[in-house]
Chain A
Amino acid sequence: MAEMMQFDLVSPERRLASVQASEVQIPGAEGDFTAMALHAPVITTLRPGVLKVVTASGTDEYLVTGGFAEVGTAGTSVLAERAYAKADLTPALLEELVKEANLQRDASNTDAAAKYADDLVAASAQITG
């Protein structure tokens, strides 16, 4: 069994998870990476994607839309703008998120907004698929 580390997932409205995890797969803005215990300290922003947490009791999946992750010596914390546990996600909710992203893309017409929408679509395909 791999070494465990403290993992926290918080959104502005609540704390979604605070568990001992052996590894966490984080959708970083510059690419996905997996944080394990004793990972070098890093702070990265997130892109919309699927966050996977491997704990002793199994793997949990969360959809995050943005925010940042801090991998430190004390553990890993992810501060997500919006985060949903896979179990809480409904097709309707996903659809709404994607619709919102598309609206924003149409409104602002920037690369960032377009990337956001594309990432979100990919993430929702991954989590439902």
Chain B
Amino acid sequence: MPNLKVLKNRIASVKSTRKITKAMQMVAAAKLRRAQEAAEAGRPYAERFNAVMAQLAGGVSGDSGPKLLVGNGSNQTHLLVVMTAERGLCGGFNGNIAKLARVAANKLLAEGKTVKILTVGKKGREALKRDLGSHFIGHVDLSEVKKLGYADASGIAQDILSRFDTGEFDVAKIFYATFQSVISQTPTEQQIIPADFSNVDAGDVSTVYDYEPSEEGILADLLPRAVATQIFSALLENGASEQGARMSAMDNATRNAGEMIDKLTVEYNRSRQAVITNELIEIISGAEAL
């Protein structure tokens, strides 16, 4: 029978853990609402942008288009941009994204391709460091960023684009989690260079637009922005997913702590009663002996 004092201490410590997880859950819920609002506010832009891009891209034929759209003719070197959270304690969120990226990286390596990894968010970097650390080429730290802005995304995009211009890689993909609901976030892989708009609804294609400047001019101007836009929406989705994952993880933790407290309390009461019974027996047998 464990000592009463030990049990009491354990109950107290689990109780304070529950307080912390409960608080974290509430903070995550509040942050989730904000992140969801941000993701929703960014949606009209991304949708319109992609629709226009799909329309423009549909008009480009053959290999004559800009490199960002048709690629540079090679697919030897792949850049994987792994976007995760800066903090842990959010269930399988970081692990799932890292796993998807690791599987993709290993597949590419097995095919004899060169893999380069750019990490956004500390946790993904830590997760991939051990087996893929030698492929890291950079890291973007967002831990100081309070509220994600378009400027953050366009900074990352500029970094990626300048690497593309110097021929550091041929194909770029981003890894992030799409927000489905509080309890489900799907790790997603998306190709950003060369841009792929094949799954975007171009809307009404019957309208014939005039282009100012030329169609090619607009495309050249917009493609770099498309990269930034895609990264921005991925970051927003990721932000909402992270908070959702943290909220449900903390909800589970709070419930577990509650169950543990109940169990420990029962055990505590039993041992207390056992001690009392023992004392009584001692007193009674002592009295009888007189």
Contacts from A to B (Cβ < 8 Å): 8, 10-15, 28-30, 40-45, 67-68, 70, 72-74, 77, 79, 81-82
Contacts and interface: CB of A to CB of B under 8 A. Distances in A.
Interface in B177-211: 204, 207-211
Contacts of B42: 12-14
B150 A13 contact: yes
Interface string B223-235: 0010011001000
Given A8-B44, A41-B207, A82 B212 contact: no
A68 B207 contact: no
A15 B40 CA distance: 10
Nearest to A43: B209
A128 to B, nearest CB: 24
B218 A43 contact: yes
B41 A15 contact: yes
B149 A43 contact: no
Contacts, number: 79
Interface residues of B, number: 29
B136 interface: no
Contacts of A68: 52, 218, 221-222
Contacts of B56: 43
B164 interface: no
Nearest to B153: A12
Contacts of B232: 12
B38 interface: yes
The 5 closest A-B pairs by CB, nearest first: A44-B212, A12-B150, A42-B210, A14-B41, A10-B45
A41 B211 CA distance: 9
Contact of A30 (B204, B209, B212): B212
A97 to B, nearest CB: 12
Interface string B153-185: 100000000000000000000000000000000
A82 B149 CA distance: 11
Interface string B33-57: 0000010011011101100100010
A15 to B, nearest CB: 5
B208 to A, nearest CB: 7
A74 B211 CA distance: 17
B217 interface: yes
B213 interface: yes
Contact of A13 (B38, B49, B212, B222): B38
Contacts of A13: 38, 41-42, 45, 149-150
